[in-house]
Amino acid sequence: CSVVYCTEFCVQLFLFLWVSTVTLFLAVSELSTVFLSKLLTKHFFKDDPWFAERYKNLVPKLLSRQNSELSPNTRKWWERLQGRPTKKNYSELVETLFSLFPDEEHYSDAGPHRCRTCAVVGNSGNLKGSHYGPLIDAHDVVIRMNKAPTAGFEKDVGSKTTHRAIYPESAVDMDNSTHLVLVPFKILDLQWLISVFTTKHITRHIFVNLALRRASCLLFKVMILHPEFMRYVYEVWLQKQGKYPSTGFMMLVLSLHICDQVNVFGFGASKDGDWHHYFDKRYHHLLNKGVHRGSTEYNITLKLHHKNRIRMYKGW
């Protein structure tokens, strides 16, 4: 009997020690992961105070019910972009939006084991003849802006689009493999988005045609850039130059926050020094006039490239 008791006791003791060891190992592993993450973050900023001053990871990136409340400064800045006062209730719009679209915290998966590659594809003429298409398509995430086409330009710009950043005036048709990322410069843009997927009463923009054909397919692919993030890019990155950032520059900064490797294509002038789109010949000589400060955005992009925060492909 004593032998049986001793055997049972030894087995129980072994199991207890084994469970304790495994638990301790998991706890240490978790602490090590947190420590390593903090260590990497500290190293990430250690020798780069310029980047550390600008990179604010706690700023909400994409709108959700939970983070939808606007700070007084953001509300004031955003209302100035409206052009005229609006009586529409923002909180009511948010409720309607997230009764239609996914209400979740997108891209909250940062960690030492993630390796998400992102291509931010601008519209510059320097893409023509670049043969970047296969390289662009090899990324996990491919972000395009506004009306930039791929059909007929695949060799240089690729064919893959996982995210397209638009506002109502720049909207185009897109298939159900692409996330629609709305950049809301005004509260009417939120109303327009609701209209597209419901009553379709705001019909002055061509994107309403898409809603008539594939609204149900795109419903779960809608994301909305947070006004707090837009103001953050404007005030922290651009130091309040211009009236507001360009869509392309906001997507570049967003990619720094959601991607581990960022490659930028189609930003800047062509090799001849001309500023035009790869898909047309509309030139943009007045880079520092109007609502954007194009040269400031470009210089910051170059600086990020020189600091190895991104890699910039100029096409020449």
Residues taking part in catalysis: 244, 292
Per-residue tokens: 294: 């194009």
State how far the Cα of 301 lies from the Cα of 122, in Å rounded to an integer: 12
3 state DSSP class of 277: strand
State how far the Cα of 244 lies from the Cα of 84, in Å rounded to an integer: 16
- Whose CA is closest to 44, among 308, 302, 306? 308
121 and 157 Cβ atoms separated by less than 8 Å: yes
Q: DSSP secondary-structure letter at 239?
A: T
If phi over 0 gives left and psi between -120 and 50 gives alpha, with beta otherwise, what is residue 178?
beta
Amino acid at 299: N
State how far the Cα of 153 lies from the Cα of 191, in Å rounded to an integer: 33
Print burial letters for 45-74: b (CB count within 10 Å at least 16), e (below 16).
eeeeeeeeebbeeebbbbbbeeebebeeeb
270 and 276 Cβ atoms separated by less than 8 Å: yes
State how far the Cα of 25 lies from the Cα of 199, in Å rounded to an integer: 56
State how far the Cα of 215 lies from the Cα of 212, in Å rounded to an integer: 6
Per-residue tokens: 22: 């495994």
- Whose CA is closest to 252, among 272, 268, 240, 241? 268
